[in-house]
Amino acid sequence: MKKIFYLLISGWVLYSPQFSYGSLIEEKNCSACHRLSKVGKEKKGPDLFYAGNKFQSAWLEEYLQNPVTLRKTGTINSPNFLKGGLQNLQQHPILNKNDAVNITQELMAMTLPGLSEEQINPLTKGQIAKTKYEFERTFSCISCHQSLNLAGKPRGGISGPSLVNAGNRLKESWVANWLKNPKIFSNKSRMPVYKMDNETRLRFTKFIMTLKKENLR
């Protein structure tokens, strides 16, 4: 009898939801549309199991209270061609400030181990111009991603997420890891894997971080 009791207790400790991912995320059922761990099939929304590596917390907090469209064509599992690209947005929960702050904390705790951290020097004006040229012409990143033109207007394709405010939204070291190999994060990634040398990859990373909403006109 005692044994069964201990078995039950340890089962409860191991499997009780409060010992898995953050409880507010569970409560709000975010996992209906987002993977919170790498196991299982991709869902309607982007993966969040590495949110702590990827996002700046101030951006997350704001987004959860006021979600905006980042993927006009939607995601693989939830295409967005209807209603002028607003379909996914209309379904997205809107959180109050308190919940947004708490869920942001829970998201920032979700990280993948073993990502590399690299020091990247600020770019000179010349390097920014060179990278912008390569972003648009040599690698054609702009065919899938919106960025800013010289006049500060959004410009570019919409099959990938918008990078217009990438410098406010993403963490630099995550971008560097993503450009090294997007497959670390998802085998299903639709982004081409580029064989960039390190110098180019770090320069692109820094360039992406210069794309900020403050520069939007």
The interface region with ligand HEC, picked from 15-23, 89-97, 114-122, 148-156 by CB under 6 A, is 89-97
List the x/- string, 43-62, binding to ligand HEC by CB under 6 A.
Answer: -xxx-------------x--
Distance of closest approach, residue 23 Cβ to ligand HEC, in angstroms: 12
Residues 120-159 that bind ligand HEC (CB under 6 A): 139-141, 143-145, 159
List 148, 164, 175, 211, residue binding ligand HEC (CB under 6 A): 175
Distance of closest approach, residue 68 Cβ to ligand HEC, in angstroms: 7
* φ, ψ dihedrals at 135, nearest 5°: -60, -40
Distance of closest approach, residue 214 Cβ to ligand HEC, in angstroms: 18
**Residues 6 or more apart in contact with residue 190 via CB below 8 angstroms:** 76, 159, 160
The helix (H) or strand (E) run that includes residue 74 is: strand 74-75
Residue 73 touches ligand HEC, criterion: CB under 6 A:
no
* φ, ψ dihedrals at 170, nearest 5°: -105, 160
Residue 35 touches ligand HEC, criterion: CB under 6 A:
no
Q: Where are the beta strands (DSSP E) in 126-213?
A: 147-148, 154-155
**Spatial separation of the C-alpha atoms in residues 207 and 167, rounded to whole Å:** 9
Residue 210 touches ligand HEC, criterion: CB under 6 A:
no
What are the Cα distances from residue 160, in Å, to 21, 59, 69, 70, 189? 28, 19, 12, 9, 10
* φ, ψ dihedrals at 15, nearest 5°: -110, -5
**Spatial separation of the C-alpha atoms in residues 205 and 51, rounded to whole Å:** 18
Closer of 93 and 122 to ligand HEC (Cβ) = 93
Closer of 49 and 178 to ligand HEC (Cβ) = 178
Contact positions vs ligand HEC (CB under 6 A): 28, 30, 32-34, 44-46, 60, 63-64, 69-71, 75, 78, 88, 91-93, 95, 103, 139-141, 143-145, 159-161, 175, 178-179, 182, 186, 189-192, 194, 204, 208
